[in-house]
Amino acid sequence: MDKDTILVVDDSDIICSIIKGILESPTLHIDIAHSGEEGILMAKKLRPTLILLDIIMNGIDGYETCCILKSSTETKDIPVVFITGNNDSESVLKGFEVGAADYVSKPFIPEELKARVKVHMQNIKIQRELQLLMNELKEMAVTDYLTKLHNRRYFMDQLQEFVNQYDLKLFLILFDIDNFKKINDTYGHNAGDMVLVSVSSILKLLLREEDILCRWGGEEFMICLPDVTEDIAIDLANKLRKEVSKYIFNCDGFTFQCTITGGIIQYDRAISPEKNFTNVDQALYLGKSSGKNRCIINYPILKVNE
């Protein structure tokens, strides 16, 4: 079981030992720092779940320590709870002003310390769960539910980043599964879904990490190849096409093969993204209308690659 960590920053060995004895458990580890300076270094290294921080210490006091922790990108999100004998309203208010999440008065009651720490640990757990949920929702928004590839929205955002940030040659490849309706009609929609997933896997397996691959829609897949030559783009498109054509699909007792057709263009920054998408779609259409199972590049001149 993974343990959460609390960092106690206090220059009293006795106080540190008492806190450690009260809080340490099979799910909670306690680390000790005896000065503000040491606490800052340990917080950056350990990234504890929570920091218990004394206010009055030799060297920099708790207020300054907290200010430094909250000004660092490495530690600013770690909640800080002051442990202090100064529980007057002015001291407490100053603690909140420098970024503390709570305070515990000394001499503290063990049950109160446990209760306050428990509340903060629960809040941290909830925040973690919410963050995971947010990350999942963000990923779902840019992921195709069937193939688990990124979707058109993600592709267009990433392509725009390439266009804006890098002065690289970009090639687009648009693939379409040939006779996909016939596959669905002949073998059923389970077979059609399996073909989409399998073709996705083949394309993803053979592409580089920096290439962008998405399910463009229906049975179409769009690829962006950054920093390649025209010959490399053509060779890769044909390699992908041939690998798909060799694959044997098995579904519900049926065995069959299928092919894909590709259109290729060099991305033209002088025209809109939509016009580039139209151009690659036209290249794909030429491939479909001239026999399928081939790749066609229409920039700068029409070339047929069977």
Q: Where are the beta strands (DSSP E) in the chain?
A: 4-9, 28-33, 50-54, 80-84, 102-105, 150-151, 170-177, 212-217, 220-226, 249-251, 254-256, 260-266, 295-297, 303-305
In whole angstroms, give the CA distance from residue 215 to residue 151.
5
Among 38, 136, 139, 219, the active-site one is 219
Q: Is residue 31 helix, strand or coil?
A: strand
In whole angstroms, give the CA distance from residue 39 to residue 7.
8
139 is catalytic: no
Residue 42 region, left (φ>0) first, then alpha (ψ -120 to 50), else beta?
alpha
In whole angstroms, give the CA distance from residue 193 to residue 13.
65
Rg (CA), the chain: 30
Catalytic residues: 219
